[in-house]
Amino acid sequence: MEVRARILARIRKALKERPKALLPEHPHLRLGEEPLDLFLRRLAENGAEGHLLNQEGAVGLLKELAHGLPGVAYGKGVPTSFRLFPELPPEAAPLGVSWALFAVAETCTLALSSEDGRKAQLLPPTHLVLVERERVYSTLLEAFSEQKALPSALGLHSGPSKSADIGQVMVKGVHGPGRLVVAVLT
């Protein structure tokens, strides 16, 4: 406790004469475009693949991605209708499938909960994320304002893993998935 008390005391002393600054509110921005269209467009800009699909189409996409693979790692929230392939541990799976809490058009972001399981989101080289159309928010502020309870970890993914640390050349799939495929479900 001693260190804590010392630090807090120094802060209070430092702030004694300092005028207090007010906390501004955040204005909600209007984007000039349908969130869904913007989201899909920005996914492509960020090097990811986005599709608007019904249930059948999404299962078809999964079949295409899993074709020839020994198995798939599933997030806990992925509906049984998608669990068509043998389940592999994420450490060994070439494909991970997750169920996103929500998506954000402004920043081209998928929000992935730790409740869904973190390894399937991170370890396989290809990541398929399913998100419901009604869960695509327009802005980050809108999405954050509506979250009531937060999981122990919320991962925001906005594209494939990448790095330009080797000679300024962009390389994909450095640690996380190098391929990100998104199915927005109608």
Verify binding: residue 138, another protein, rule CB under 8 A: no
Lookup result for tokens 């802060």: 11
Q: Which stretch binds another protein (CB under 8 A): 52-60, 77-85, 93-101, 155-163?
A: 155-163
Residue 116 phi/psi, 5° resolution?
Answer: -80, -15
Closest to 111 (Cα-Cα) out of 162, 19, 39: 39
Q: Which stretch binds another protein (CB under 8 A): 18-26, 52-60, 63-71, 81-89?
A: 18-26
Which of the residues 156 through 185 are near another protein (CB under 8 A)? 156-169, 171, 173-177
Closest to 154 (Cα-Cα) out of 121, 124, 126, 182: 121
Which of 30, 32, 148, 152 is close enough to bind another protein by CB under 8 A?
Answer: 152
Angle among Cα 140, 128, 84 to the nearest 5 degrees reads 135
Give whichever of 43 and 58 is closer to another protein, judged by the CB atom: 43
Residue 23 phi/psi, 5° resolution?
Answer: -95, 115
Q: How far is the CB of 145 from another protein (least distance, A)?
A: 6
Which of 57, 71, 77, 107 is close enough to bind another protein by CB under 8 A?
Answer: 107
Structure tokens at 123: 């370890």
Give whichever of 53 and 136 is closer to another protein, judged by the CB atom: 136
Give whichever of 84 and 92 is closer to another protein, judged by the CB atom: 92
Name the 3-class secondary structure at 39: helix
Give whichever of 42 and 88 is closer to another protein, judged by the CB atom: 42
Structure tokens at 91: 């450490």
Verify binding: residue 122, another protein, rule CB under 8 A: yes
